[in-house]
Structure 1
């Protein structure tokens, strides 16, 4: 059987409140620095899909009204979730909206991918033509993109080793599943080494964060 998710595909971007984002960088960036980094990555994600995939509808789910207002400036759909049930709960809520809105497929993309590559997204969508579940594996075994046809094909289990968990869910339902490994899509910014890797890949874009990072490291060292 061949699947064509591009026909009615919705991109879902979950985004927590910027004030709570990037906690694992707390010893490297200030509170305001982490907030600005999270918003910068999110804004870049919105701009990426608007520029390279204008034919795809986008849904942003967040507990932050500021985040939803920013998303609306890119003409995306928005959904408020209070965050009480965490990321998986927010994605269940979003998936219900996507399904009821008549989409055949759903592509979940995190808001903090350092470098988004149109070719990788195209390859991901192409892989879904012959699979009901496609998992873009993160550098740490997590899930950095998840394309499901139908949107609720599997349960969401984001967290440690989520790529393996999502693959298990797909196989338990006898669904065709593919795991893909992409250089750029594997890199989300969670830790200091991720930020360092992003600086190496796109120095012009991330050089300001590099200087903030260096200053924060010095302040932490001499504190």
Structure 2
């Protein structure tokens, strides 16, 4: 079974680089809209057996449940510790592969998920598929089995994941994805997302309200 895992920060900490242009309430709404779009895409992909959201924010956990995902509330220190703790839970429950997707890539589609899973299947029973973000981070990482690579998410993490796979002889594939390359961290990311294909309807609705308010 392929399990999907989406990490999300506390709402008050999320998207700090967008704060100059967006009110706090809109930022919180945007964070949850992006999460909903990511969860929708994962749940629409038949390759995914379960979708979980790891967070330390009870409000995010409640929203994740309403979107059809399983919330995993954890208070580990740091993103990678939280991901590793959630990975252990999902592995004990039968996950044979783990797809981590960041919660701020609302352009994700079921077609993207399928392409990642197919690339992973082609590598065999042991391997990793990475989709880089355009800033050098990791937008998505499929690991088979779930612990074949350590979690090294964060700035420049694509290179760290790639290097670890090389050191440990893990079969590795890198996929380019225009949709996943854009994580909504900065105003220019928002503009690039809005100029792209029409995926991420809930996120577009929130940003559309923002744009109309800015023009009025």
TM-score w.r.t. length of structure 2: 0.88
**Contact 2:102/2:140 (8 A) holds in 1:** yes
Matching residue of 2:210: 212
Equivalents in 2 of 1:134, 1:66: separation in Å?
31
Aligned with residue 165 of structure 2, among 167, 170, 180: 170
**Contact 1:189/1:195 (8 A) holds in 2:** yes
The count of residues paired between Structure 1 and Structure 2 equals: 210
Matching residue of 2:24: 31
Matching residue of 1:71: 64
**Contact 1:196/1:210 (8 A) holds in 2:** no
Matching residue of 1:135: 130
Pair 1:184-2:176 in alignment: no
How much does 1:88 deviate? 0.8
Aligned with residue 140 of structure 2, among 141, 145, 152: 145
- Map Cα deviations across residues 169-201 of structure 1 (whole Å, 9 max, x no partner): 111111111111111111111110110111112
Residues 206 and 77 of structure 1, relative CA distance in 2, 3 Å threshold: closer
Q: Which has the larger radius of gyration?
A: 1
Equivalents in 1 of 2:193, 2:170: separation in Å?
35
**Contact 1:28/1:213 (8 A) holds in 2:** no
Aligned with residue 110 of structure 1, among 92, 96, 102: 102
Residues 146 and 54 of structure 1, relative CA distance in 2, 3 Å threshold: closer
How much does 1:73 deviate? 2.5
Residues 173 and 195 of structure 1, relative CA distance in 2, 3 Å threshold: same
Aligned with residue 87 of structure 1, among 79, 89, 94: 79
Matching residue of 2:195: 200
TM-score w.r.t. length of structure 1: 0.85
Equivalents in 1 of 2:6, 2:37: separation in Å?
12
**Contact 2:2/2:48 (8 A) holds in 1:** no
Residues 201 and 40 of structure 1, relative CA distance in 2, 3 Å threshold: same
**Contact 1:133/1:177 (8 A) holds in 2:** yes
Equivalents in 2 of 1:125, 1:56: separation in Å?
12
**Contact 2:99/2:143 (8 A) holds in 1:** yes
* SS of aligned partner of 2:134: coil
Structure 2 gap segments, 5+ residues each:
none
| Deviant stretches of 4+, over 6 Å | none
Structure 1 gap segments, 5+ residues each:
1-7, 219-223
How much does 1:118 deviate? 2.0
Pair 1:21-2:21 in alignment: no
- Map Cα deviations across residues 11-58 of structure 1 (whole Å, 9 max, x no partner): 011111122110111112121121111011111222222334485211
